[in-house]
């Protein structure tokens, strides 16, 4: 119960009695009863006035009111308010940590409160079981992906080397075209296997980051400028509004952040139609530095928003625009961002078509 509620409960009855006392004094002094006293006083004023201990009677009633309401407050707080507060705090902690600490017993509370406590404990237990089951399934999937990727990498690398050696042999034009196509596909397969191994390493906690004070503006500028030829090829205007020293330094693994920005900028260019634009800029918010990659591309449909960072997920409009892609880039990019204590998120542009992805990294220190 809040403090102002308790004060109201304690003061209002006493105030009513006090107004009655004022009416009594008015009656004794002037022989008439004031209008306020008429409204609140319900006892026989004449009899009370004739009673010599009238003042002490009113004081006693006031004290009794205070004691009764104080007792009610303590009783309700012990039986209902305190258990509800404890359960509410436990629910908040459970939502954050997915673990339920031992809850005190409320055997002296009302039956309803005890039943509510039991139901919450049972619900939390079932949620923990489902969560543990999901974690086990995820671990099995990760182990399978890691094993399969390791088994595939060696033969794929051998195939790639054989095809590269075959390209140097005297071949007809049609044979050269076939070998070049096969070589390109082998490179794609090796890259996919490497990506799968990266995922396995990151999810298992075996991936080693090399953290250092990093100029995020310099990293973003270097990565963005490397994509100027790709943007020109796709007839997309790439604006680079990031520069060294334009923001505070962050504590990050520079190579991993480059990987994230490579993925974001390449996606922005590839999913932007001819004549569109991609803008790479910087921003600072309290405690963080942000890199914003804004495009005027095909956008992300509302139905895809909740899945866009899932493994192997590709939106329908993305598949229609670009066949190339495995649906792993954004998943890895966000994982790297969260491993840095930051985040990767996106929002649809409100003043035109396209999407803006925002990479946030905490400042150094």
Q: Are 13 and 69 in contact (CB under 8 A)?
A: yes
Average pLDDT, the chain: 76
Q: Per-residue pLDDT tens for 120-158?
A: 777 777 877 887 887 787 777 777 777 777 777 788 888
> Pick the residue with more confidence: 72 or 174?
174
Q: Is the pLDDT of residue 85 over 60?
A: yes
pLDDT of res. 42: 46
Find the mean pLDDT for residues 221-239.
Answer: 92
pLDDT of res. 192: 78
β-pair type (212-214, 277-285): unpaired
Rounded CA-CA distance 256/136 in Å is 28
Residue 209: CB atoms within 10 A of its CB come to 13
Counts of helices then strands in the chain (DSSP H, E): 12, 7
> Pick the residue with more confidence: 126 or 319?
126
Lowest mean pLDDT among 76-90, 141-155, 274-288: 76-90
Q: Are 219 and 261 in contact (CB under 8 A)?
A: yes
- What confidence category does residue 172 fall into, taking pLDDT thresholds of 50, 70 and 90? confident
Whether the model clears a pTM of 0.75, i.e. scores above it, the answer is no
String of DSSP letters for 261-313: HHHHHHHHHHTS-TT-EEEEEEEEETTEEEEEEEE-SS---GGGTTTTTSTT-
- What confidence category does residue 34 fall into, taking pLDDT thresholds of 50, 70 and 90? very low
């Amino acid at each position: 119960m809040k403090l102002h509620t308790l004060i109201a409960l304690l003061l209002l009855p006493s105030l009513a009695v006090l107004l009655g006392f004022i009416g009594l004094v008015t009656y004794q002094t002037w022989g008439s009863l004031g209008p306020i006293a008429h409204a609140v006083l319900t006892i026989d004023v004449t009899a009370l006035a004739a009673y010599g201990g009238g003042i002490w009677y009113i004081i006693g009633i006031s004290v009794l009111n205070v004691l009764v309401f104080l007792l009610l407050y303590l009783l309700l707080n012990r039986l209902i308010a305190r258990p509800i507060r404890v359960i509410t705090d436990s629910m908040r902690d459970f939502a954050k940590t997915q673990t339920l600490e031992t809850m005190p017993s409320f055997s002296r509370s009302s039956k309803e409160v005890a039943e509510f406590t039991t139901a919450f404990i049972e619900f939390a237990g079932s949620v923990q079981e489902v969560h543990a089951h999901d974690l086990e399934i995820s671990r099995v999937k990760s182990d399978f992906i890691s094993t399969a990727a390791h088994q595939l990498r060696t033969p794929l690398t051998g195939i790639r080397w054989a095809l590269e050696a075959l390209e140097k042999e005297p071949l007809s034009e049609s044979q050269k075209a076939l070998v070049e196509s096969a070589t390109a596909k082998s490179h794609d397969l090796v890259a996919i296997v490497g990506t799968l191994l990266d995922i396995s390493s990151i999810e298992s906690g075996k991936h080693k980051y090399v953290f250092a004070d990093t100029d995020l503006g310099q990293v973003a500028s270097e990565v963005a400028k490397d994509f100027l030829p790709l943007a020109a090829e796709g007839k997309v205007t790439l604006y680079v509004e990031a520069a060294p020293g334009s923001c505070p330094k962050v504590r990050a693994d520079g190579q991993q952040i480059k990987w994230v920005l490579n993925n974001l900028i390449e996606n922005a260019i590839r999913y932007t139609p001819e004549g569109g634009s991609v803008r790479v800029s910087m921003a600072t918010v309290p405690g963080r530095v942000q890199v914003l990659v804004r495009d005027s591309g095909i956008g992300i449909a509302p139905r895809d928003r909740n899945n866009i960072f899932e493994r192997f997920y590709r939106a329908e409009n993305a598949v229609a625009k670009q066949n190339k892609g495995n649906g792993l880039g954004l998943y890895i990019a966000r994982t790297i961002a969260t491993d840095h204590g930051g985040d990767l998120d996106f929002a649809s542009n409100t003043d035109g078509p396209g999407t803006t992805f925002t990479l946030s990294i905490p400042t150094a220190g």
